[in-house]
Structure 1
Amino acid sequence: MKRKWKRSAMALFSGAILMLAACGNNSSAPEEESSTDQPAQEEEAQKYTIGVTQIVEHPSLNAAFDGFKAALEEAGIDAEYDVQIAQGDNSANTSIANNLVSAGVDLIFANSTPSAQAAASATSDIPIIFTSVTDAEGAELVESNENPGGNVTGTVDTHPDAIPNTLKFLKEELNAEKVGMVFNSGEQNSRAQVDSIKQLIEDEGLGLEIVEASVATSADVKQAAESLVGSVDSMYTITDNTVVSALESVVSVANDNNIPMMVGEFDSVERGGFGAYGFEYYDIGYEAGQMAVKVLKGESEPAEMPVQYPQNLKFVINKETADAVGIEIKDEWNAEDVKELEK
């Protein structure tokens, strides 16, 4: 009996050892799972929240945002976008900026001058990358284009040659004398452009007269355009967000009265403007996105990245509009048809 007891005891003891070993193996399983989960945690840490503030919706600004997103996607940035549109309301614009700061987004993409100004006023800590801004220095967004010096930088929507070329074309090719301009004088970027145009006309002795028609909202645009009929022989619509959001109103007035209207960018040519020395807003949005990638990856800071100008300037004409206002397109203009642009 004693031997049988001893054998039974040994069997129980051996079983217990096996059970303990098994338990030991099971206890290591969570550690293995934890180690396999670690890369997932690291990957999750690389997901960013981008706050997007945009003053109003229109094709140019929307194209810039598309370009921005494309740049981040191509760089492998996993981003979630908190998109908020002010619909032309400056008080809403300020609220949007404050909301994005309160939400603690990783970066703010400010699409337009008013949007960038509101964001810059709301935070000095969160990096801000702008585009569709005309005069970054005049808007007090940066200390200088070469050395921004703060948490804000980006791409502007004015090529140095765009306005001079446009004014020269109006004078020399369209024989313009009085140029009508509808714009929102409350938009800093618009006021800066008009003042720049007037100064350039004076400096270059171009002999053009600017006839202003100011608006406050997009609802005022058509009436302002109509007020110019009979007083001007041409029109020039700059990159004013209020006017561009209601561009068809100006186009109809200009074309119905055989008034050629130069515009500030290609989307406005596609929508019926006569012609423009411009660039693709998608491109400046993409370039702003590339700047954002550098910030998010820790490769650079806004203070160190100079403000960028559009890289490619083209002359584009809407041939249908030219026919509508009775202007024959000359070969020496070297103009592209808006329909030939790559979409």
Structure 2
Amino acid sequence: MKKIAFILLAAILFLAACGEESGQSPEANAKEGTKTFKIGVTQIVEHPSLNAAYDGFQKALEDAGLDVEYDVQNAQNDNSQNTTIANNLVSEGVDLIFANSTPSAQAVASVTKDIPIVFTSVTDAVSAELVQSMEQPGGNVTGTVDTQPDAIPSTINFLKDELGAKNVGMVFNAGEQNSRAQVDAVKEQMSAVGLNVVEASVSTSAEVKQATESLIGKVDSLYIITDNTVVSALESVISVANDNKLPMMVGEFDSVKRGGLGAYGFEYFDIGYEAGEMAVKILNGESTPADLPVQYPQNLRFVLNKDTVDALGLEVKDEWKAEFAE
């Protein structure tokens, strides 16, 4: 009996050792030093561009082989909820916060100086007071912006030279810093080339259609920037634009796919992925937000919606070097 007991004990010890070596148990994970990182995700509203950015962020961490648990919260364009989310994520003591939009980043940056914050879908990180400078963020915040330096000038040139625009309508949420910065930049650059901007301000997505309709008879084209409130209700703008044969330039490719005429832009998945690569460096202890420069989007492209081009009766010129949205 003693011999049988000894054999059974040896077999149990052998199987336990095999389990530890194969990493099949929590004890094995602890032994190998594997850590599960908890990342808080805050997003101001649901729309395709922001969703694509989050997908890109997740893919970067997956490709890096990190074990991650996400706490994803969406404010549904409610500023009070946005603040509540920020406080909740900080109180949870997450390892890092991914802030997807300017309001989301501002909310979390205002309540913690200790937890690393990586943002994307932010237009002007300096004016939003998220970082000290693009090159040297200087605090616990860094990320990727969704404005490419040549995008606005290229769009304005297309409106003027190719579409013959004179009065351009812009619908936006004036309470969103991201949008105000873009509109001011557009107005300044349009004024320099003799174009006029006609503004229509909204505070909620429910106001978008009426605001767009208020521009009819005053404008010959539309330019919809990367405004979260308006883009979340873009179909309302597209409906009015189509009914009145107004060419509508937009700020990103997802809005082209949804019916906008065209955009000089980039993929939001890509800037989300680049933000994810920054998060990997921070979580692995290779760098800190203060040391990681804020990144611009790469590879500006011009994309058109073929159906919208045809509906407007436009001829696509070779010199446009345009691609068609898929």
TM-score past 0.5 threshold: yes
Shift of the 280–141 alpha-carbon distance from structure 1 to 2, 3 Å rule, reads: same
Shift of the 326–121 alpha-carbon distance from structure 1 to 2, 3 Å rule, reads: same
Tell me, in whole angstroms, the C-alpha distance in 2 between the residues paired with 1:331 and 1:139.
Answer: 39
Which residue, out of 40, 54, 65, partners 2:43? 54
Cα distance, 1:35 vs. partner? 7.5
Name 2:241's counterpart in structure 1: 254
Deviations 1:142-195 (A, max 9, x none): 000100000000000000000000001111111100000000000000000001
Name 2:297's counterpart in structure 1: 310
- Residue 230 of structure 2 is aligned to residue 206 of structure 1: no
Cα distance, 1:43 vs. partner? 5.1
Tell me, in whole angstroms, the C-alpha distance in 1 between the residues paired with 2:75 and 2:112.
Answer: 18
Identity rate, percent: 70
Tell me, in whole angstroms, the C-alpha distance in 1 between the residues paired with 2:194 and 2:20.
Answer: 75
Tell me, in whole angstroms, the C-alpha distance in 2 between the residues paired with 1:74 and 1:47.
Answer: 15
Report if aligned partners of 2:190, 2:197 keep a CA contact under 8 Å in 1.
no
Tell me, in whole angstroms, the C-alpha distance in 2 between the residues paired with 1:325 and 1:104.
Answer: 53
Gap runs ≥5 in structure 2: none
- Residue 142 of structure 2 is aligned to residue 153 of structure 1: yes
Tell me, in whole angstroms, the C-alpha distance in 2 between the residues paired with 1:257 and 1:331.
Answer: 27
Cα distance, 1:308 vs. partner? 0.2
Match runs of 1:238-317 below 5 Å: 238-317=225-304
SS in 1 for 2:271: helix
SS in 2 for 1:122: coil
Cα distance, 1:323 vs. partner? 1.6
Report if aligned partners of 2:223, 2:249 keep a CA contact under 8 Å in 1.
yes
Tell me, in whole angstroms, the C-alpha distance in 2 between the residues paired with 1:222 and 1:174.
Answer: 23
Report if aligned partners of 1:258, 1:326 keep a CA contact under 8 Å in 2.
no
What's the TM-score, normalizing by structure 2? Answer: 0.92
Tell me, in whole angstroms, the C-alpha distance in 2 between the residues paired with 1:73 and 1:189.
Answer: 29
Give the partner amino acid of 1:272. Answer: G
Tell me, in whole angstroms, the C-alpha distance in 1 between the residues paired with 2:31 and 2:50.
Answer: 34
Shift of the 29–133 alpha-carbon distance from structure 1 to 2, 3 Å rule, reads: same
Tell me, in whole angstroms, the C-alpha distance in 2 between the residues paired with 1:167 and 1:142.
Answer: 28
Match runs of 1:93-112 below 5 Å: 93-112=82-101
Cα distance, 1:200 vs. partner? 1.9
Q: Which range is displaced more, 137-146 or 328-337?
A: 328-337
Deviations 1:251-299 (A, max 9, x none): 1101110100000000000000000000000000000000000000000
- Of Structure 1 and Structure 2, which has the larger fraction of its residues in helix? 1
Q: Number of residue pairs matched?
A: 317
Deviations 1:83-142 (A, max 9, x none): 000000010000001000011111000000000000101111000000000000010000
Match runs of 1:1-343 below 5 Å: 38-42=27-31, 45-202=34-191, 205-339=192-326
Tell me, in whole angstroms, the C-alpha distance in 1 between the residues paired with 2:52 and 2:217.
Answer: 35
What's the TM-score, normalizing by structure 1? Answer: 0.88
Name 1:6's counterpart in structure 2: none
Tell me, in whole angstroms, the C-alpha distance in 2 between the residues paired with 1:45 and 1:287.
Answer: 24
Shift of the 265–43 alpha-carbon distance from structure 1 to 2, 3 Å rule, reads: farther
Cα distance, 1:201 vs. partner? 2.5
Gap runs ≥5 in structure 1: 1-14
Report if aligned partners of 1:54, 1:86 keep a CA contact under 8 Å in 2.
yes
